[in-house]
Amino acid sequence: MSSSAVPASFANLTYEKKNAIAYVTVNRPKVLNALNMATMEELRTVFHGIKADDSVRVVIFTGAGEKAFIAGADVNELAKHNAVEGKAYTHKGQSVLNLIENLGKPVIACINGFALGGGCELAMACTMRLASDNAKLGQPEVHLGIIPGYGGTQRLPRLVGKGIAMQLVLAGEMITAAEAHRIGLVNEVVPQPELIARAEAIAHKIIANAPLAVQYAMEAVNRGMEMTLQEGLYLEATLFGVCCATEDKTEGTKAFLEKRAPNFKGK
């Protein structure tokens, strides 16, 4: 499907595509890119479009300005919710994050400042996380009398372990980029001016590889995390077998034996 799957413009986001990379930027710098439901619905729309656009291979996801990736949810909206509305609100948000996590294409979060609450949760739903040296991350929801609702209680312990996740969620403390790297919450810390360039460098390495192999590898990791080891190994073997039936596997092995660069087509 063509890039026409993505609307031309958004109220709360910017979208750009070049060299097989889609750039998605939350663009509400006056409120530190806080997430209201309108922004979440625009994220749903843009990521559905990206999923359907075969010319996009990798997504770079960030926030506008130098102060914040996403500083959290829009507290004005949160304050009005009753129990039923709050449950519906979190289900909606979780479905957007699930779309990002299982997009079939890597999404690189570029954390350029505050990534708090829903912002930290959005980053955790991405395939990998790069942080600028001034980034601050945290799940401060307990300060508002609530708990993380966009997957923070589930993805955080899977990334950093139960004990550290408990400390971050229960104390609601912000941590530095260096600490986030130490505990495994972010992959790398880079100087802020180099953040997007570093993400692009990783993206180009991914783009050089077979699209279906990248997709199936992500699927094996994401699904396997929820399985026993034996179930995960079975899934891996099945997806390995599917890869063996692709034109890209034939091209990849042939190119290796002929000592040349492969020409992958995603078939």
Contact 156, 124 (CB under 8 A): yes
**Residue owning tokens 């986030």:** 180
Q: Which of 101, 89, 84 lies closest to 149 in space, CA to CA?
A: 89
Report d(CA 206, CA 204) in Å as an integer: 5
Q: What DSSP element (H or E) covers 215? A: helix 211-224
Report d(CA 179, CA 91) in Å as an integer: 30
Report d(CA 197, CA 253) in Å as an integer: 31
Contact 7, 45 (CB under 8 A): yes
The first and second tokens of residue 191, run together, are 């100087």
Sign of the alpha-carbon torsion through 257, 21, 138, 189: positive
Report d(CA 213, CA 198) in Å as an integer: 23
Report d(CA 227, CA 95) in Å as an integer: 21
User: Exposed, middle or buried by CB within 10 Å (0-12, 13-18, 19+), for 259?
Assistant: exposed
- In angstroms, the Cα distances linking 83 to 33, 36, 90 are 26, 18, 11
Q: Mind telling me the catalytic residues?
A: 121, 141
